[in-house]
Structures are given as C-alpha cells and as structure tokens.
Structure 1
Amino acid sequence: MKVENKATQQAPDTNDKKSSCNKSFPSLATCWGILLLIMVLRFYFSTVLEKRIANLTQETQMLKKKNEELRRNQTNLILQIHNLTRDCTLLEKQLAENQELKKKNEELETEKKNLTEIIQQMTTPWIELNVSRAQWSIDAYCPKENSNRKCNACQAGWLYFESSCYAVNNVKPAEWKTWEEARENCRGKSSDLAVVVNEEEKKNVSEKSWKYDGNKGYWIGLRVEDGIWKWLDGRNLTDSSWINQPPSDGHCAISVQDEGFKSVSCDEKNPWICNRKALSV
C-alpha cells in the first residue's frame, strides 16, 4: 500500500513538469521572436540611419560649398559696388569739370565774339591809316613837280650814300642830346644812329660831321659793351685804328670832322647822325 502511494505520488510530479515545460515553450518562442524582431528592426533602422546620416553629410558638404560660393559672390559684389561707387565719383567729378569747361568755353566764345567786333571796328581805321602812311611815303620819296612825280632814294632832308640815307641833326646846343636820347630821336624817324660798315662809309660820315657852333662831334651808333666796342647792328668793331681802345662801359663814340671817331661819356650832350636804308628806285 505504501509502494503504491509512492508511485502514485511520483506520477503527478512528472506530469506537472511536462505540463510546465509545455506551458513555457510558447513564451520562449515569443521571446526569441521578439528578440529577432528587435534585431531585424535594429539592423533596419541602423541601415536607414546610416544612409540618412550619409545623405545629411553630403547635403552638409553641398551647403558648405554653396555657402562658400555665396561668400565669394558676396565679396565680388562688394568689390563691384566699390568700383561702381568709385566710377560714379569719377564721373561726377568729370561731369563737374565738363560743366566748368563748358562755362569757360562759353566765356571764351563771348570774348572771341567781342574781340571779333573790336577787330572789325579797328579794321577800317587801320586800313585808312596804312593808306595814309602809304600816301605819306609816296609824297616823301616821290614828291610832285609840275604834276609829275619823281622818286628819290631818300626823302627830303636826308642824304644818300651807298644804299643808305643819313640825317645830320645840326641843332642848337640847347637841343643837343645824350647818346640814348639821340638814339630815341632816330627811332622816332624809323631809323637809328649811324652805323659804319666800311672805310668809305666812315669817310662819308666823317665828312658830314661838320663843326657847328663849337660842337665836338656827332653821336653815331657805336658804344662800349662789356669792354668791347659794338655797333648797334650787333657787330664788334674789328678795326682798332678807327678809335682808341675802350676805357670802360658807359662810353660812346662821336664822329669828329677830319679827326675820325672819339670816345666820350654817353651822358654828354652832342648833335647826332641818323641812318636808315635807302629806297630802291
């Protein structure tokens, strides 16, 4: 009886274990299924995330490149704006200068117009003056004699010699002049103090240097410049026998009859001889 009870007691324990195992198997399968699903989902999401991260990284690189390009474009635009501003300033300056030049041009045009009017107003008197001078020259060199004109190489009062005309100014001592004053008088007659080129002219001038009222001689166009005797036409006196060596500046030459040329102070007062080119007839 006791043995049977043991057998009876053991049988239920075994069955209970089998029943427990049968009951725990679906749970284990479910756990493995869930674990497998988690692994699959993890792999899936990991793959998706990696791909997404790669895309985002690529997009980030593209955005960086675009940003750098935009910065370069911005720098270029700033430079262009700077250049345009500078060009605009230069154009404004040029425009202002052009306006000033235009104003000056208008002023010059006005001045030109005024000068043209003045020239036109002066033309007629100038022509009349030239006609008067021409008539004076004709009358001076070609005086009328019995309704006929006879032309001379020198005008009345001037002496002709070797293509030159000489005017001997025999004035009273009160009217004698210094060398500069005598030259100024000759210039007023469209001439200058007598200049001698050769021995023949020297002889002619000496012969015309008449002594009158005790005068020592007549001024001629010869004076000392920088220690050298110079004629008014710029030539140096080359023949030292014509006059003594110059003592110093401030000395001029007079022509004395039968005595040649002598050196005196330019401030002395003497009569004078003018000389100019004769008219070819």
Structure 2
Amino acid sequence: MEEIYANVEYVKPVDSRPLTNQTGPRSSERRFHGAVVLCLGLLSVFLLAGLIGLGVHYYDVVRGLTEERDLLNANLTETTEELHQQNSDVIRGLTEERDLLNANLTETTKKLHQLQSLSKQKKTCPAGWTMFNYTCYLISTKSDSWENGRQDCRGRGGDLVVIDSHEEQDFLTCIAKQTRWIGLNDREKEGTWKWTDGTLLTQKYWEKEQPDNGGGDPRWGEEDCVTIRPEKTGPNNWNDLSCDASEKWICEKMP
C-alpha cells in the first residue's frame, strides 16, 4: 500500500483586541464623539443658565407689573371715592339750597297773602290772641300732649305754630315764658323734621346736642315732637320730647 503524507502548516491565531497605542480611524472617531458630548454638555449648561436668568427676569417683570397694577387700582379707588364724596357734597349743598329757597318762597308767599288780606279790610285777632307780622298767636293756659294741643289749635281755626323766620323765633321766645309745643315733628320718618303745614325744616334753632331722641334712655321714649324753651339763653332753644309728654303750646292762625 502506498503511504500518503500531508504537510500541515500551523498558523498562529491573530489577537482581535486592538492595541492600546493604535492610532487608526477608530481612535479619531472616539475623540470626535467625546468632543461632541463635551460641547453638548456645555451647551446644556449655558441653556440652563439662560433659562434660569430668563425666569428670574420674567419674575421681576411680573412682580413689577403686579405692583404697578395694585398701585393703579389703589389710585383709581381713591379717586373714585374722592369723586363720589365731591358729588355727594355738591348734591347735599344743592339740596339744602333748594330747601332754603323753598322755605323763603313759602314765607314770602305767606306774607304776601297776609298783606293782600289786610289790604282788603282791616282785621284784628280774636280776644286772647296776639298779633305779630299780620299773624295771630295764642299761648295756651293748660298742658297736654302734642297731638291734643294741636287739636285744640285746630278747634280754634288755626294749628300749632310754624316758625319760618328769625324774627318770629325771637317774638315767640319772648311771649312763651315757659316750655311749649310748636308744630314740628318727625313722627312719619325718624330724623326727617316737618312742620304741621307739611314743609320740611330749613331754619333750625336746636339747643346744643339736640335733637337726641332721648339719648337712648328708655325713660324718655321716642322723642318725635318739639318744644320751644324760652328759659334757655340765646336763640337756639328747641328740644325734642316725647309726643305724650304734657306741655303747654302755641297756636297760630290768620286774622
């Protein structure tokens, strides 16, 4: 048998691991990737810092606008209140002036009618009555409530006195001698004083700290009717009193 011989050459395996000092394309690629990562990191840091700065600036702007808005609202509120107060003062002044003009007109009309009546014939007051400025006045001799005093005046053809001039106030202070009912009350609405002829009070002669509606003391009750108190010095001598109190009164009527 023929023998067959084969030559086998041993090939040493090649190590697939890269050498540490390899300087080929792969090493350059890694350095490039590292640089990109570093740049992206720095960019992220700068972006974050920018966002933080922008947030702080935005917060400052919003706070400034909020403070400015609050200041504008406060100024607007103050201005509105001032305008409202000014308007209220103007309206109140015009209302008082209107009431005073109406009172003066009423007084003038009253005196005109008196003069017209006297021009037609000479009139005198009944016995017991006193004339002043073409008007007759009666000083009662008995005491009773405000309403009963008024009924007595009506039964005599007049009514409780309406004081519409400083001269009349001085005259009645002189002849009244003591506390007496006059035709002023706020029985319909507390604080709204009206005379028996329906006119609103304009000329006032209240005592100091009057009217006080009893000062809240239940002993005096509701003080809705008015007396003139000549014992008080000076022209201001009106006092509010309970309408059920017993006092003398002053009647008034045309001659």
TM-score by structure 1 length? 0.40
Higher relative contact order by CA 8 Å / sep ≥ 6: 1 or 2?
2
Higher helix share: 1
- TM (normalized to structure 2)? 0.43
Bigger CA radius of gyration: 1
